[in-house]
């Protein structure tokens, strides 16, 4: 099961981060935290996006590290590919936090 987890973690972390940032944006726009300035809203979202990217970078490095290496070369290779995909996905799908209006 460890090998299956190794393969499934990177993209699962992506969907969790993506949903969390979308949820945060929903909460901010619904006024769940009271009246927050638009600049602060964007700052919080950028922070959340940056944390998500940092987690993916850490995951990629961990999967490449000899300490966490898989005994199976196949699993090792595919898990690193998936970690790269997850990192690119995180950057691309969370890019709107810097480019788009928050609540309009």
Partner 1 sequence: MTALRLHRKLDPIWASDPGFRGWFTTVNNNDIGKIFLMTATAFFVIGGILAMLIRAQLATPESAFMGPAVYNQVFTMHGTIMMFLFAIPFFEALTVYLLPGMLGTRDLAFPRLSSYGFWCYFIGSSTMVVALVLGVAPQGGWFMYPPLSSTIGSPGIPADIWLLGISFVEVSAISAAVEVVVTVLRYRAAGMSLDKMPIFAWYMLVVAVMILTAFPPMILGSLLLELERAFGMPFFQVDSGGDALLWQHLFWLFGHPEVYIIFLPAAGAVSTILPVMARTTLLGYGWVVAAAVSLAVLSFGLWVHHMYTTGIPHMGLAFFSAASTLVAVPVGVQIFGWIGTLWKGRPQMHLPMLWIMGFFVTFVIGGLTGVMIAVVPFDWQVHDTHFIVAHLHYVLVGGFVFPMIAAIYYWLPVFSGRKRFFRMGETAFWLAVPGFHVTFLAVHWAGLLGQRRRTDSYDPGQGWEVINLIASIGSFVMAIGFALVIVDVAINALIASRGRRNPWGAGTLEWATALPSPSYNIASIPVVDSRYPMHTDPDLPNRIARGEGFLGEPIRNRRETLAVSTARGDPLQVVVFPQNSVVPFVMAVVTSVIFIAPIFKLYWLMFVAAFGVMVLSMRWVWVLGSRHDEGALDAGRGVSLPSASEVADPPGWWGSLFLLLADAVLFGSALFGYAFLWTVAPNWPPPAYLQPGVAGPALALGGAALALAGPRLAERRLRGGDTPYAGLVLGAAGLGALMAACVMVMRALPDPSAHAYDATVWVLSGYVLFHAGLAAIMAGFVMARGRAGFLSPRRFGELRVVRLWADYAVLTGLIALAAIYLPGLGT
Binding site for partner 1 (CB under 8 A): 1-4, 7-8, 11-12, 14-15, 18-19, 21-23, 25-27, 29-30, 32, 45, 71-75, 77-78, 81-82, 85, 89, 92-97, 99-104
Least CB distance from residue 43 to partner 1, whole Å?
Answer: 14
* Cβ at position 42, least distance to partner 1 in Å: 9
> What's the rounded Cα separation, in Å, for the pair 16 and 93?
12
Cα–Cα distance measured from residue 8 to residue 86, given in angstroms and rounded to the nearest whole number: 11
Nearer to partner 1, 21 or 36 (CB): 21
Query: Token pair 């602060």 is at which residue?
Result: 40
Nearer to partner 1, 15 or 58 (CB): 15
What are the C-alpha distances in Å from 22 to residues 2, 18, 62, 68? 30, 6, 26, 31
Shortest distance in whole angstroms from residue 29 CB to partner 1: 6
Number of other CB atoms surrounding residue 72 within 10 Å:
12
Q: Which is nearer to partner 1, 11 or 58 (CB)?
A: 11
Residues in the chain: 104
């Amino acid at each position: 099961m460890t090998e299956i987890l190794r393969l499934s973690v990177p993209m699962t972390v992506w969907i969790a981060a993506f949903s969390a940032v979308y949820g945060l944006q929903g909460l901010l726009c619904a006024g769940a935290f009271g009246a927050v300035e638009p600049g602060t809203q964007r700052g919080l979202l950028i922070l959340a996006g940056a944390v998500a990217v940092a987690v993916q970078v850490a995951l990629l490095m961990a999967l490449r590290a000899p300490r966490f290496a898989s005994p199976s070369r196949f699993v090792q290779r595919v898990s690193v590919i998936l970690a790269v995909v997850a990192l690119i996905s995180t950057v691309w799908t969370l890019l709107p936090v810097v480019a788009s209006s928050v609540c309009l």
